[in-house]
Structure 1
């Protein structure tokens, strides 16, 4: 296992995801400086926000409800800890959620855990750019409405592979929520709005996830998820300890998990089990020694 490659990717990925999520939050009128009020032209069906671009950003349909839920949670958190802390936690949590989901999907596809056998982020065919599910969406076990089937065909006819990829990724995440509800979310969750991934750009999360870490490191190596998590939080942990030492302050509630949760390698787990439960069992079964 190339831990250097894993560490480099995980540290890069945290900053990449946070930056992209900040941009997406800005499209909802949520920035470090505060929560924007919809522009006067907004209605109950369409909301407009000035994001300092040539044209206002438009939210409609379920995006408005997503924003309402996000803003409600953000405002509640801000009452308890201040807006800056609440905003930072929102960005950090959304980045962490998507990081964990995507590395789980990568692990599952490499180890052929999907019942339809279609990879979500890559292809079993060497050198092929499009993920297998993007090339063959109707061979998947995902369920589509008639309207969705029409939209999928339209994206395929007009070579809009990234649009199709994002749609299928959310579909897969919603499907996985049935078996892994603590990691994935059902359709309509606000986290859907916070990330717009593609698979083509070489500086993108998906491309680097697939290409920067050797595929062999994912095979029968569930430890890779633990190392990913630890390295993902390494910069945050180091910065937190530096600030604590500098200011002589205490760890905040939102800092506890990333600074205390460390991955335990399998050899340490085996040592602990063999010398605790294993020893107790042997003491109770001397004839087995």
Structure 2
């Protein structure tokens, strides 16, 4: 573990670390915000999963989340979105390869050697983060777009592991939209049944834990109709009687301007669950 950035921020510290990931077989960078309360004792942890083309920098520099994390005493952890390195498989397209890990464990070559983002987020990253005396084992998860897909699917697949989950503009049904079909075909192969283990709409149908889903979606999002399709998740939740709060926001798009506008509400939501 090597700290490569440190910035004073709202009474705490915004750090960036580089560490060797055995799961991914490469070095990874992770943004970690420590609120001022971390100097007094262990703080709960909110994991943030970013979207396509992003790395750890997007959330920590654009969302304005540190202010609210300092207010509520939460540690924010923002990992990269994929493995990186010269020997890591890639693609020319923005929606496959580096920057587009989709938070799955790839089973198909050449991706399976490094692209095991599911195991990294669920197991390796928390083991590393929560070994710090400043962090407690109380955790929640959130994300945006591809990361919203990751946050929702991971929370549903791991009942009891997270106190709360939320998402901005998530890909809720990756098995039914172009982004997901392209990525899952490459990473997982042609068996569409195998894809369903990472599809929020499918996971809600048989979820063993009724963890409430909080979702904000901009009505002016360019990707809304083709790639995101939140109505599919609302229908699945209604059918399964799974609690969901889907807030459609008039005028907002897919950008970090949207995230920055409502991240305070999401952090407050997680703080209530983490401290309750």
Which TM-score band (shorter chain)?
under 0.3
TM score, norm. by length of structure 2: 0.24
Larger strand share, 1 or 2: 2
Larger helix share, 1 or 2: 1
TM score, norm. by length of structure 1: 0.23
